[in-house]
């Protein structure tokens, strides 16, 4: 929930308190401060700046979203649920910048991780299929559309319409 700068500021405050409480021989509070420093560091590796990035993603501020996502140095260390959302947002950013190959890779990775809802998972698969059609890889697009239709009864009507439109596009070629 913190940016990296805010995280460093909070850690430095807790370290200063740790030093002070150790000097004053109040070891319970010193242990608490140490525990908070460790917890903030662990949470950085588990979720990074993803919560803030998601806030900007939902208001469609892709520049700020990308800036916050780039602060995550090792996305492979994120928790499973967080990694899928990270890849999904990075795919959307690459799609906005017309970097189709990078967007395809991010959406493929997002589809391998659990996302918030089934429709988010289907959307990731549909994005890969759509990009594959744009790049002329119709077999790959067909395979991803089949994966998207695996739970057809749980998919929204809007997403089914998109899938049908993409299927028609594939049949033309």
pLDDT in tens, 6-43: 899 999 999 999 999 999 999 999 999 999 999 999 98
How wide is the angle at C-alpha 113 spanned by C-alphas 133 and 163, nearest 5°? 30
CA neighbor of 126 nearest in space, from 165, 98, 157? 165
pLDDT (0 to 100) of residue 9? 95
> Would you state the structure tokens that stand for residue 54, as one six-digit string?
């998601």
User: Considering the chain, what percentage of its residues have pLDDT values greater than 90?
Assistant: 38
149 pLDDT tier (thresholds 50, 70, 90): confident
93-122 mean pLDDT: 89
1 pLDDT tier (thresholds 50, 70, 90): low
How many Å apart are CA 77 and CA 97, to the nearest integer? 26
- Given a cut of 70, is residue 159 above it in pLDDT? yes
DSSP character for 70?
Answer: T
- What's this model's pTM, rounded to 2 decimal places? 0.82
40-56 mean pLDDT: 88
Q: How far is CA 110 from CA 32, 93, 147, in A?
A: 37, 13, 14
């Amino acid at each position: 929930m913190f940016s990296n700068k805010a995280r460093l500021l909070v850690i430095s405050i807790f370290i200063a308190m740790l030093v002070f409480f150790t000097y004053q021989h109040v070891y319970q509070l010193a242990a608490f401060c140490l525990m908070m420093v460790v917890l903030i560091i662990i949470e950085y590796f588990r979720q990074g700046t993803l919560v803030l990035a998601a806030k900007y993603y939902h208001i469609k501020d892709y520049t700020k979203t990308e800036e916050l996502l780039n602060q995550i140095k090792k996305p492979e260390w994120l928790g499973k649920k967080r990694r899928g959302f990270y890849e999904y947002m990075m795919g959307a950013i690459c799609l906005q910048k017309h970097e189709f190959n990078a967007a395809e890779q991010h959406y493929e990775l997002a589809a391998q991780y659990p996302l918030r809802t089934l429709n988010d998972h289907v959307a990731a698969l549909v994005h890969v299929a759509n990009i594959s059609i744009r790049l002329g890889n119709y077999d790959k697009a067909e395979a991803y559309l089949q994966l998207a239709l695996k739970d057809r009864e749980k998919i929204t009507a809007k997403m089914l319409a998109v899938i049908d439109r993409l299927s028609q596009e594939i049949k033309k070629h």
